[in-house]
Structures are given as C-alpha cells and as structure tokens.
C-alpha cells in the first residue's frame, strides 16, 4: 500500500510539473528581447513598402507588403545593362530583365533578436518567400538580414541594394517602378 501511495504521489508531482503553463525558453533573454522588438516595431512594419535604386549598370524596384499575421507578399523588377565599345565609342546596351529576379512572390516574415556567432545580440528580420510560379516555385527570398528600424515613413534593413551606409531604405506606400 505504501508503494502504491508513493507511486501515486510521484505520478501526481510529475504531472503537475509536466503541465506547467509557463514555457521554458532555451535562451530567455533572446525570447524577451524578441517580444520587445516585435511589440515596438510590428505596428510600424505592417503595411506596404517600396524602394527603387538605379546604378550605372543595374536598376531595381521592389515592393513588400507585411501582414500582421506574419505573411509577406511582394513584387520585384530588376534590370541590368552592359558597357560595350562600338567603333571605338563606349556605349550602354539596352536594359534587360535579370533572369529569375522579376515577378511577384509570397511568403512569411518575422522579427527576432538573436546572438551572432560572436555572442553579440542583433535585431533581425527574417524573410522567406517563393516566386508565384506554380510550375517552378523557386525561392525569391531566403534572407535574415540585420533590422535597423521602422517608423511611420521608413523601414530600414540590410537588403540587396544597400546605401553607402550599408542599409536598404524602404518608403511606406504602394508605387510603380519608374522604368
């Protein structure tokens, strides 16, 4: 009888500890900082953003729509041209779309705080999306860049087309490419 009571007591104690409603995070600090990051910036990030940049031999347009449920949709138009010499004259070829870098895509996004390989904490925005091509769904985004900030008019993270300071700056709102 004592063994049965001891076993029942042990099982009851195990059940109570196993059913705790408080999750245990592998890195409590990362969890808390991620929650703070999301609380601070998600209201600003949700919405539509765009950027456009033209360089000597490349130009790019991108529009991203971040939804509150963590889904992402967007469209991209990237073009390039070459420098050629014809009859001793340096000229540019016509602009051409860059293969596999144009069209619309859908995926997910989220903000996280994580430690880099040196143990230093960083704010990141994780983007993952596939091109809208049912016959050949390839990755349009698989990117977890540093996240800078977001406010009512500006979204900043390290993207494909960086400014001289290393950041890609998106402006709020829908837009059409100028090219």
- The pLDDT of residue 104 is 96
Closest of 111, 110, 143, 109 to residue 33, by C-alpha = 111
| Element holding 3 (H helix, E strand) | helix 2-18
Tell me: the pLDDT tens digits for 1-11? 555 555 445 55
Measured in degrees and rounded to the nearest 5, phi and psi for residue 12 equal -65, -45
pLDDT value at 20 more than 70? no
| Residue-range domain boundaries for the chain | 31-172
Q: pLDDT tier at 159 (50, 70, 90 boundaries)?
A: confident
Position 17 scores a pLDDT of 52
Would you say residue 118 has pLDDT above 60? Answer: yes
Lowest mean pLDDT across 25-29, 33-37, 169-173: 25-29
Overall average pLDDT of the 113-121 stretch? 92
Which residues face 105 on adjacent strands?
74, 131
Averaged pLDDT, 138-152 = 94
Separation between Cα atoms, residue 51 and residue 154, nearest integer Å: 10
What is the maximal distance between C-alpha atoms in the chain?
104
List helix spans (H) across 75-115: none
| Three-class SS state of 140 | strand
CB atoms within 10 A of CB 125: 24
pLDDT at position 133 over 90: no
> For the residues 26-47, what does the mean pLDDT come to?
95
Q: pLDDT tens digit string along 84-114?
A: 999 999 999 999 999 889 999 999 999 999 9
Mean pLDDT of 30-54: 97
Confidence of residue 135 (pLDDT cuts 50, 70, 90): confident
Local confidence band at 162 (pLDDT 50, 70, 90 cut-offs): confident
What is the average pLDDT score of the chain? 89
């Amino acid at each position: 009888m004592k063994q049965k009571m001891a076993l029942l007591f042990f099982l009851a104690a195990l059940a109570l500890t196993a059913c705790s409603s408080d999750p245990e995070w592998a890195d409590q600090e990362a969890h808390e900082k991620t929650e703070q990051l999301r609380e601070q910036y998600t209201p600003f990030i949700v919405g539509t953003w765009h950027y456009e940049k033209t360089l000597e031999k490349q130009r790019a347009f991108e529009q991203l729509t971040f939804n509150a449920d963590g889904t992402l949709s967007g469209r991209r138009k990237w073009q390039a041209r070459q420098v050629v010499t014809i009859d001793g004259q340096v000229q540019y070829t016509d602009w051409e779309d860059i293969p596999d870098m144009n069209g619309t895509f859908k995926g997910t996004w989220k903000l996280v705080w994580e430690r880099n390989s040196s143990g230093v904490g960083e704010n990141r925005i994780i983007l993952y999306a596939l091109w809208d091509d049912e016959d050949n769904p390839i990755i349009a985004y698989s990117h977890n860049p540093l996240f800078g900030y977001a406010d009512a008019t500006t979204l900043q993270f390290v993207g494909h087309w960086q400014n001289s300071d290393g950041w890609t700056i998106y402006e709020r709102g829908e837009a059409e490419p100028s090219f």
